[in-house]
Amino acid sequence: MEVYASMEQVEAYFNNHASWFSRCAEPMKVNPLSENSYALVVGKFGAFGYDVEPKIGLELSTLQDRKYHIRTIPLPDYQAPGYEVDYKSLTRLIDGVDGITRVEWELDLVVELHFPKFIQRLPHALIQSTGDRILNQIVHQISRRLTHQVKKDFYKSLNIPFPPRK
């Protein structure tokens, strides 16, 4: 994404995630765990009559060298029922031209689901393709929504009108 603001303004915003992360992650439920970590309930998803409501712990690093990391952390007193998530992301801030800062995001996501026996009777290829499709939809939907919300919130924090979508 591109934002019409200086690198310093974008860095200051990202480093103050306590002021925007919970609000921008909606409709996901977010609860702070510490100064740099959150419990996040992603939503309810499923197929073949089997639903999960993933809840993960995320730790957000402070910005260093214009890079910002987020990774999964264990949630206190919580054992995920039937799934494991390993989330790692890297956000880079890049100086652009004419006061534009570019924000690039990379995601490394591994999700393991432990299905009940009635699902394991289905063909493995069907289970795999359905799981991949659902996961891709979730990541795409959350990424688009979160990007839009962060950008909108960033401009609002600076009292700058939100530019129209291209």
21 located within any domain:
yes
Asked if the model's pLDDT at residue 27 lies above 70, the reply is yes
In a domain, 163, yes or no: no
Confidence of residue 166 (pLDDT cuts 50, 70, 90): low
**pLDDT tens for each residue of 88-131:** 999 999 998 888 999 999 999 998 888 888 888 999 999 889 88
- Report which residue type is found at 85: V
Mean pLDDT computed over every residue of the chain: 90
pLDDT band at 149 (very low <50, low <70, confident <90, very high): very high
What per-residue confidence (pLDDT) applies to 137? 85
> Is residue 165's pLDDT more than 70?
no
Considering the domain boundaries, does residue 110 fall inside one?
A: yes
Residue type, 111: V
Does residue 162 fall inside a structural domain?
no
Residue 145 resides in a domain: yes
Tell me, yes or no, whether 98 lies in a domain.
yes
Q: Are 152 and 141 in contact (CB under 8 A)?
A: no
Query: What is the Cα–Cα distance from 13 to 11, expressed in whole angstroms?
Result: 5
What pLDDT shows up at residue 98?
87
CATH number at residue 72: 3.30.530.20
Nearest CA to 17 out of 72, 80, 68 is that of: 68
Tell me if 164 is assigned to some domain. no
The confidence band for 161, taking pLDDT boundaries of 50, 70 and 90, is confident
Domain for residue 100, yes or no? yes
Q: How many domains does the chain have?
A: 1
Q: Which domain holds residue 107?
A: 2-157
The secondary structure of residue 28, as a DSSP letter, is S
- The pLDDT, as a whole number, for residue 73 is 97
**Is 123 strand, coil or helix?**
coil
